[in-house]
Amino acid sequence: MSISAAEAAHRAASDREQVAWVDEDDNLLGALPRAELRERGLIGRCTFILLFNGAGQLCIHKRTLSKALYPGYWDVAAGGMVAAGEDYPESAARELAEELGVSGVELRAHDRFFFDQPGNRLWCAVFSAVWDGPLRLQPEEVSEARFVNLEVVWEESSIMAYCPDSLAALSRAFGRQA
């Protein structure tokens, strides 16, 4: 399956974005292009926003095939890299609005943790929000979305491709092992 020209252009622009570069203690070292940070195995800052509806179901979404990490995987959180000059809450609000079209909601801060896998070294901040309105998916990053019970996430994640970093965020915020 090929990616669209719009997705390819979005990916190229994303790879050039200046993102926060930090050390293993989350001390800010500066900013680097996202692709360089990843290629050099350096650590960036990232946000994860767990979006629930009023019934307590979690919004999961499928990542487009143009994503640099985990293309085509299911993701339990909106989110992404913290841009240069942003703090975690600013990044979380921006990412939720960009990916799912949700803004003006209260973001509840949960945990911060270090996630370390080859090609994906992150200091992560986890937030949650509740939203019962419509979603406006960012087509370059999100191919589909649905709300499901948490049990469905845990069942599906054992047999389907789910992003390990967002599963870790969910586990940290709500106490279940991924």
Quote the CA–CA distance of 96 and 73 in Å, as a whole number.
18
| Number of compact structural domains in the chain | 1
pTM to 2 decimal places: 0.91
Q: 2-57 pLDDT, tens per residue?
A: 667 776 666 666 767 999 999 999 999 999 999 999 999 999 999 999 999 999 99
Q: What residue numbers bound the domain in which 114 lies?
A: 5-174
Enumerate residues 6+ apart whose C-beta is below 8 A from 69: 38, 119, 120, 163
Q: 154-164 pLDDT, tens per residue?
A: 999 999 999 99
Q: Any idea of the CA torsion for 51, 4, 34, 168, to the nearest 10 degrees?
A: 30
Residue numbers in the known binding site for Mg(2+) are 95, 99
Closest among 123, 171, 111 to 24, alpha carbons compared:
123
* CATH code for the domain of 144: 3.90.79.10
DSSP-based three-state secondary structure for 24:
coil
Residue numbers in the known binding site are 95, 99
